[in-house]
Amino acid sequence: GEDVEQSLFLSVREGDSSVINCTYTDSSSTYLYWYKQEPGAGLQLLTYIFSNMDMKQDQRLTVLLNKKDKHLSLRIADTQTGDSAIYFCAESLSGNTPLVFGKGTRLSVIA
């Protein structure tokens, strides 16, 4: 079955880079996503990557995908206090199958 694992906590200093890691079990996963959830709010799609890509960059965000190791990472450059949130990794086998979410990584940014 599908399973998505993430470390639960990450703490970084303001201005440093953050790297949030995720591993998934299903090698058939076609789409991989990163969502952000701020306290008391819903989830916000940050970025996504298709399984035929190795890397995707979008402003301060860089997603790296290692299909061999089934490892996905999200790098946030120049981390700001506003980046403090829970980050969920999610996978989907195809465009029309429901997402499987990881447990989320709580990022704390220290000023």
Partner 1 sequence: DTEVTQTPKHLVMGMTNKKSLKCEQHMGHRAMYWYKQKAKKPPELMFVYSYEKLSINESVPSRFSPECPNSSLLNLHLHALQPEDSALYLCASSEDRENTGELFFGEGSRLTVL
Instruction: Single out the segment in contact with partner 1 by CB under 8 A; choices: 17-25, 39-47, 55-63, 65-73.
Output: 39-47
Binding of partner 1 by 26 (CB under 8 A): no
Instruction: Single out the segment in contact with partner 1 by CB under 8 A; choices: 9-17, 56-64, 73-81, 95-103.
Output: 95-103
Q: How far is the CB of 81 from partner 1 (least distance, A)?
A: 21
Closest CA to 106 of 39, 13, 32: 39
Q: What angle do CA 39, 58, 43 make, to 5 degrees?
A: 25
With beta carbons less than 8 A apart as the criterion, state whether 107 and 12 touch. Answer: yes
Which residues are at the interface with partner 1 (CB under 8 A)? Answer: 31, 33, 35, 40-45, 48, 88, 90, 92, 95-99, 101-104
